[in-house]
Every structure is written in C-alpha cells, then in structure tokens.
Amino acid sequence: MQFDAITTLNAAAFDAMVVQANGPVAVEFMSYGCAYCRALEPVLQRAAEVVQAEEKIFRVNIAVEPGLAESYDIQGTPTLVMFRDGSETGRVEGPPPVLADILAYVTQPA
C-alpha cells in the first residue's frame, strides 16, 4: 500500500482542519474521474512530504462533497486553494504538475 501524505476531508472535518486551523493550509479540490487530477497527484504527494512541518495539504473530492465545492466557487478541477488562519489567501486552477510550481503556490500564495 502506498503512503498517502494528503488527507481527504469531508464537510464535517473541513471546518476543523481548514477553517479553524492556525497557519497555512492548502486544499486541492479534485475528482477521481479527472485525468488531470490523477496526473497532478504524485506531485502533490511529494509537495506534502516536503512541506509537512510548515504547511498542511488536504484534498476534497468534489463528487463526494459538492456543497464544499459550491461554497468555495470551484469552477473546475483540480483547483488548489490556499488558506491562512482560516481565510483564503490564493488559488490556482489547473496548476501545472511541476513540484517547484506547487511548492511556490503552497508556500507563497498569490
């Protein structure tokens, strides 16, 4: 079994893990039916391993949690949304599957 460095959140856990969190959090809104999301997955796993001490990375499957996707106005997948202390600080839709880019988005959101 492969180690999963990214926790999948449901609506009940989202509030505690993201909205009430202190510090930086990144959330990938994705769908397992999305080929681009699957291509991005290994890069996000690596990014989560690199930043685990400073930032947290979670995922939300929009097929399972459409209410969260609607609440955050997710228009397509994958969308990476960055939060700090519970407030959105940046987002990128369809981030390129390049580790340096993902690390920049997660650690220095624009």
The pLDDT confidence band at residue 20, using thresholds 50, 70 and 90, is: very high
The pLDDT confidence band at residue 4, using thresholds 50, 70 and 90, is: confident
Give per-residue pLDDT as tens, 72-89: 999 999 999 999 999 999
Q: Return d(Cα 110, Cα 102) in angstroms, integer.
A: 12
Q: Evaluate the CA torsion angle 61, 67, 72, 76 in order and state its sign.
A: positive
Domains of the chain: 8-107 (3.40.30.10)
